[in-house]
Structure 1
Amino acid sequence: MPYTVPQLLAMSQKELDDLFSASEPGDIPDGPANGTAIIAPGTTYSAEIAEFINHFAWQGKTFDAASGTLRNRILPLGINAIIAKVYKGTSWFDKKDCIVLDYSETSLVAHWIRDEIRIISPGLYLGIVYWKNSKLINFAVQFPGQ
């Protein structure tokens, strides 16, 4: 059964962790993807917080698989900024393969951030954000038309 972003927003943290752990890394994505921050998972506030963040702070990511990079679309205008290296690596969460979004060498404002993603449905990836070495939040990136 394919997952949807509203389903992810309704899941508990344990359910998100279990889904991430049970998923494969998939291929490194390419092109623009819409983003959804998953904060306060499983609560009635999760969707409202995600909508607020989407309008005012982060809209998604644009991947360039050929160069192994991405740019985040931020602010209400959707400016492409905050670059990360993209490569396959080992997850800090469960030591399995994942796709790493590494800001340590490419961003002054986000150099302490590392994201990890795995594919959970066609065109839909579930991610984890780390602040330094600590797990911070989950997020989803969805590629339109998939």
Structure 2
Amino acid sequence: MSIDVARLLDMSQKELDELFEASPAGDIPDGVATGTAIIAPGTRYTETIAQVVNLFAWQGKVFDSAKGVLKNRILIFHVEAILAKVYKAPSWLDGKECIVLDYSDTSIVAHYIRDEIRLIGPGLYLGKVYWGRDRLIDFALQF
């Protein structure tokens, strides 16, 4: 079965976790990715919340794989801000390799945030967001 963002928005948290656990880290991406927040997975509110977040708060990420960094595209004006280091390391979810988006040394605002992503399809990554060690939400990145 082919996975796309619409399918991710229909999945339960258990299905998202299983997909993440079954997927390879993939290569560290390069370029602009459209982001979709996956909040309240498996409910009728997930798609609406994703649209509101995308419009007003977070639109995605811009990766520079050569430098091992990214910036988030935020706010209604698509401002590139909130820098993160990008590298491969074990996932906090299952201990297997993932791509870590680490804000601990690069951002005052997002100091406690760690994202983990894995490649789930051509140009499509599934991500997990942590605040400290607590899981917050999932997200998709489409290149």
Coarse TM-score class (shorter-chain normalised): over 0.9
Report what 1:61 is aligned to.
61
Report what 1:99 is aligned to.
99
Q: Where does structure 1 differ by over 2 angstroms across 4 or more consecutive aligned residues? A: none
Conserved in 2, the CA contact under 8 Å of 1:71 and 1:81? yes
Q: Distance in 1 between matches of 2:10 and 2:137?
A: 14
TM-score, normalised via structure 2 length: 0.99
TM-score, normalised via structure 1 length: 0.97
Report what 2:88 is aligned to.
88
Q: Distance in 2 between matches of 1:137 and 1:20?
A: 13
Q: Give per-residue Cα distances to partners, 1:50-105, cap 9 Å, x unaligned.
A: 00000000000000000000000000000000000000000000000000000000
Root mean square deviation, CA, Å: 0.4
Give 1:1-146 correspondences, 5 Å limit: 1-143=1-143
AA of the residue aligned to 2:128: I
Secondary structure of the 2:94 match is coil
Percentage of identical aligned residues = 66
Q: Distance in 2 between matches of 1:8 and 1:61?
A: 18
Q: Distance in 1 between matches of 2:28 and 2:55?
A: 26
Segments of structure 2 that go 5 or more residues without pairing to the other structure are none
Shift of 1:2: 2.5
AA of the residue aligned to 1:134: D
Segments of structure 1 that go 5 or more residues without pairing to the other structure are none
Q: Give per-residue Cα distances to partners, 1:108-130, cap 9 Å, x unaligned.
A: 10000000000000000000000
